[in-house]
Structure 1
Amino acid sequence: MIRVNLPDQPPTFRQPTPAELPWWWRLEDASGEEVSVGADLSGERFANQADAESWVGECFGDLAAEGVDAVVLFEGERRVYGPMSLHP
């Protein structure tokens, strides 16, 4: 019989906490009010600024189609920048 040492089992998969994903976008309309969007675009959180910026770069057309005019980037409760328009 051959014995193979297997690595430890990974921890049970769980949703990351907001502290683990502190970066998020506030989605706003032209008047600066928060906009609700479809579930596939809402509530996204990110581990770092680069991931957050990449996501908005990939999704800005879909966000604009849902009525988002501008986005504001936050790290936790700290406003990093914005509003940044999604229009040319």
Structure 2
Amino acid sequence: MNLPDQPSTFRPPTPTERPWWWRTENAAGEEVTVEGDLAGQRFASQADAESWVGEVFGDLAEEGVDAVTLFELERRVYGPMSLHA
């Protein structure tokens, strides 16, 4: 018996469903791994991604992030963008 795919409420969204994501970087441009709610965030739109980073940039900086780069799937959209004034 074949079961239908699980509804989206029971599985994480696929990269195709949420293609926008931020690469978090230190001052040398090396990727920084963040933990907890900051880790692995993906977004359905560029606007959602930009709103999120605007809300949490201080938390990211506390985790050692100096800059972020926005991607749509594997395409770099822009960045690195500094989190410092």
Same fold flag (TM > 0.5) = yes
Q: Does 1:35 align with 2:25?
A: no
1:75 matched residue in structure 2: 72
Unpaired stretches in structure 1, ≥5 consecutive residues: 1-10
TM-score (normalizing by structure 2): 0.88
Higher helix content, 1 or 2: 2
Runs of 4+ in 1 over 6 A off after TM superposition: none
What is the alpha-carbon root mean square deviation over aligned residues? 1.0
Unpaired stretches in structure 2, ≥5 consecutive residues: 1-5
Decide which of 29, 42, 45 is 2:42's aligned counterpart.
45
Q: Report the count of equivalent residues.
A: 78
- Which secondary structure state, in structure 2, belongs to the residue aligned with residue 40 of structure 1? helix
TM-score (normalizing by structure 1): 0.85
